[in-house]
Amino acid sequence: MTSFYLSFPHDILIQIKSSEDFVCSKMLLGAYVPGAEVTMSPTREVDIVVGYEKSENKGFIQEEARVVMRDKEDKEFPLDFYHLLYSVVRVQLLKKKLFSVHAACIGNNEYILVMGHTGVGKTSIVLRLLEATDMLLFSGNKTIIAFQGNGYCEALAGTRTITAHTKDMQQYKGEGYEPYGERIAVELRGEGYAKDPGRIKAIVLVSLNDGEQENDRINPTSALHKLYPYFLDTVNADTVLCDGDIVYIGTPPSGTQEYLARNLKEILVSLPVYSIKGSIDFISNAIKKI
C-alpha cells in the first residue's frame, strides 16, 4: 500500500493513496504539481484523497472528497496520474482564491512571470537568463499566485523541476534528471533557486523567432484578455486518459472567473506587461532591462 500527503499554500492538504505499492517520481511531482511538499504524517483532516487502482478498465471515480484513477500501470504511477493530480490541486487552489498560472517565475526577491504557449521557447529563454544573470528560478512552469489587494500580486510557490525536449537539455544532465518519453525533467543545483515568496514586478509574454524583433508594452485592456487564460490555466484544467475518451473535468468553483477578471484588471493598472519576440539573445537582453 502507498500512502502519503501533500501540503500546499493556505493549508491545503491532499492524500495520495493506492492499495498497492507504487513509486512516486519526485521529479515529475516537482514538474507538474506546483507548491507540493511531501509529508508522511497528516497535520489535520485532508481536503481530498487522490487514489490509484491497477485495473484493465481505465477510468475515474470522481466523488466530492475523493478522485481515483484506474489504469493498467503497475509499480510506478503513470504520467497521466501526475496530470490528474495537478487538475485536482488546481481546483483546490482555486477554492482558496489562489491561481496556478501557466508561467515560469524568475528573479531575486521580486519576480518576473515569463509566459508563453508550449513550444514557443519559454524554457530555453529562462535557462539562458539563469546562466547569464544573477536571477534565480522560483518556478519552472506553473506558479501559484495570490492577489493581495492594492494592485499587488505575489508568487507563493511553483514547480521546481524544469522540463523540455531531451535534445534541448543535454548540458544539464548530472544535476538531477529523469527522462520520460521524449522529454527530460531536470532539477537545478540548490543555489539556483529562489526560496522566498515575493511580489510580481512584471509579466512577459515571449516567443522565440529569429525573423522578428518586437518589444512592446501591452496596454491594460489587451493584457487582461491575453493573461486571463494563463492565470486560469484552462489548457491544463482537465485530464484525459491517453488512449481513451475518459476525462476528469476540473471545473472551477462558482465565482472564480469573475474574481480573476476583477483582480487582474486592478493589478494591470500598475503592473507592466510586455510582448517580446525575437532571437534568444534579443529576448533575454530585453528581460534583463526590466
pLDDT at 189: 75
Q: Can you name the CATH fold of 100-288?
A: Rossmann fold (3.40.50)
pLDDT at 172: 55
DSSP result, 161-180:
-EEEEGGG-GGGTTSSEEEE
pLDDT at 174: 47
pLDDT at 169: 64
- Residue spans of the domains in the chain: they are 2-98, 100-288
Alpha-carbon distances, residue 7 vs 34, 44, 60, 106 (angstroms): 11, 10, 23, 23
Nearest alpha-carbon partner for 116 in 107, 108, 126: 126
Task: Give Rg (Cα) of the chain.
Answer: 19
pLDDT at 188: 82
C-alpha angle 144-163-226 in degrees, rounded to nearest 5: 50
| pLDDT tens by residue, the chain, 290 residues | 899 999 999 999 999 999 888 889 999 999 999 999 998 888 789 999 999 998 888 889 988 899 999 988 888 899 999 999 999 999 999 999 999 999 999 999 899 999 998 878 899 999 999 989 999 999 999 999 999 988 899 999 999 998 877 666 655 544 677 877 778 888 887 778 998 999 999 999 999 998 889 999 999 999 999 999 999 999 999 998 866 678 899 999 999 999 999 999 999 999 999 999 999 999 999 999 99
Nearest alpha-carbon partner for 204 in 261, 259, 285: 285
Q: What spatial distance separates the first Cα and last Cα of the chain, rounded to whole Å?
A: 50
